[in-house]
Amino acid sequence: MKADAALVVTPCPLKATVSAATRCGAAHQRRASFVTQTWLIASKEFGDRFRSGWVIACVLVWLGAIGLTSFLGLLQIGQIGVQGYERTVISLLNLVQYLVPLLGLLLGHDLIVSENEERTLRLVLAGGVSRTRFLIGKLFGGCLTLGVPLLLGFIIAGAVIGVATKDAGMASFLRLAVSGLVLGLTFLGVGLAISVLCRTRVQSLVVALLTWCFAVFVFDLIALGCFVSTKAPAAAQEIEFVCDATHVHLAADIHSEFDNVADGPTRATTTSRAASLGWLAANPIDLFRAINLSDQMEIQVPVFTTLLTVILWSAGTLGLSIWQLRRTDL
């Protein structure tokens, strides 16, 4: 009745109708909240990847990798069979540090650029979804797409290893799973930033692969070179020890325990090592390595360094993505 009265007193019937629509709009704006919109975008992203087979393929690859590594990890010393958690972790470390950042980058690199190239981004944004919400939704969807297969792989493989070996000390395996997941999500954020910064999918893919090469291979060499050239012996020793893949293997050479070799890998002095691990924040892969080799290398990565690295990388890449997308003309 009240609405009818409003219609009667409004001089312009068209205006009255539009006013009614505005009231209706105000009501449904409350329903199209931040959570609703970001969840819709995230679930669509996950659904699309699931349908494309990405999620299933990722689970299978991951399960296969963990299973094979655990089963054949001691092949070189003539042992075949499922190994315990600690040995599996050491064998898996290289695989995780190479494969997980690559998966994160491959997943993240086309999150935005593909929508931009196919022009669906225009329709979504024109429909009242802010760029920040869209980005967060896509990132969340990407996290689900990467996180679900990684977690499933770790859980299933962890259960199988536990049942097969009756090994109860799964702390190192849990640490690997959690740090591997965080490593993947960090690189997903990097991939998202690349996706926003690039104009085409091809460009984005190339940049993502170069980033992976840099983070996995080049960074350690550059860091080592810098420290050696600046004659910082303690730091150089530390970097060499933590970063260099060969030394990592030596330090973590579990096979030496089986070989009983007297002149096994000599370990560099570890004095005051923990105090100067702040530089690890520059590359999450190094941090991941240091966290998972802390027992073998007798170092303790400070929790503060770990948290700071994760927060800085996550906030930095998301902030960069939001800043860039907000100033992009579509």
Partner 1 sequence: MNAYLEITNLTKRYGAACALAGVSLSVECGATLAVLGPNGAGKSTLFGCLLGLTAPSSGAILLGGRPVADADRISFGYVAERVALYPQRTVDENAVFFARLKGWPVGEAKRQLNRVGMHLVGERKVRHLSKGMLQRLGLAIALCGQPELLVLDEPFNGLDPALFDKLQSILREESARGATLLISTHTMSAVEPLATHVAILLQGRLAAFGRVDDLRAEHRVNDSLESIYHQIARRGRTTEEAFA
Residues near partner 1 (CB under 8 A): 12-18, 20-22, 24-25, 28-32, 36-37, 40-41, 44, 48, 51-52, 118-120, 122-130, 327, 329-330
Other C-beta atoms closer than 10 Å to the C-beta of 128 total: 11
Minimum CB separation of residue 185 from partner 1 in Å reads 25
Minimum CB separation of residue 37 from partner 1 in Å reads 6
CB-nearer residue toward partner 1: 50 or 219: 50
Minimum CB separation of residue 49 from partner 1 in Å reads 11
Minimum CB separation of residue 325 from partner 1 in Å reads 12
CA distances from 139 to 104, 199, 220, 320 (A): 11, 18, 28, 13
> CA nearest 100: which of 176, 173, 45, 196?
176
Buried b (16+ CB within 10 A) or exposed e, 79-118: eeebbbbbbbbbbbbeebbebbbbbbbbbbbbbbbebbee
CB-nearer residue toward partner 1: 32 or 216: 32
The whole-angstrom separation of Cα 307 and Cα 172 is 19
CB-nearer residue toward partner 1: 127 or 169: 127
| Phi, psi angles (nearest 5°) of residue 191 | -60, -40
Minimum CB separation of residue 130 from partner 1 in Å reads 4
CB-nearer residue toward partner 1: 1 or 126: 126
CB-nearer residue toward partner 1: 117 or 295: 117
Other C-beta atoms closer than 10 Å to the C-beta of 158 total: 20
Other C-beta atoms closer than 10 Å to the C-beta of 213 total: 12
